[in-house]
Every structure is written in C-alpha cells, then in structure tokens.
Amino acid sequence: MNREQALSFLRTVLQVGGGIAVGRGWIGADEMTALAGAVLTLAATAWSLYARRDAGLVAAAATVPEVHRIVAAPRLADAVPSGKVRAQP
C-alpha cells in the first residue's frame, strides 16, 4: 500500500466514523473537521518519516531503472529486498 492509498483509506474511515459521531451528537461538525485534519496531518508526517528512513531511501533508489547496483552497509543491504542492493565487502 502506498502513501496515497493509505491516506485515502484513513480519510474514508474518518469520514464514516465522523459522520456517525456527528449524527449521534457525540461531537460537533466543527470539532470533527478539526480532528480529521489533525489525524491526517499526523498520519502523513508519520508516513513521511517512515519512508525516508535509510532502508526506505535505498529501496526507492533501487526501483529506479537507471540504477544498476547499490553498495551499502551489510545491515542496510539485508533490510532491502532487492537484487540491486549488495553488502559492501
């Protein structure tokens, strides 16, 4: 699941849950809007931090067709499932 799919799913869950909460009077519409915005902002930030960890950056670089080989520290090479990534000797 990529970032756009995850955020779209989260947005849908918030809309459904928020609609139920507002409909039952548990929370106001303005409060729900603020809550949904805060949750989506935090989720996007968390996803960005996760995707930009060392293994995520190497994995993203390995998907680029022009990249033929990546030499990395053994710990990092083991964390990336790609035939292009090799452990440094």
Write out the chain's pLDDT in tens, 89 residues. Answer: 677 788 788 888 888 988 898 999 999 999 988 988 898 899 889 888 887 888 888 988 898 999 999 999 999 898 888 889 999 88
pLDDT value at position 1? 65
Determine contact, residues 78/87, Cβ cutoff 8 Å.
yes
Q: 0.75 cut: is pTM over it?
A: no
Distance of CA 7 to the CA centre of its chain: 8
pLDDT value at position 42? 92
pLDDT value at position 71? 93
Determine contact, residues 76/56, Cβ cutoff 8 Å.
no
- For helices 29-51 and 54-62, what crossing angle results, to 10°? 70
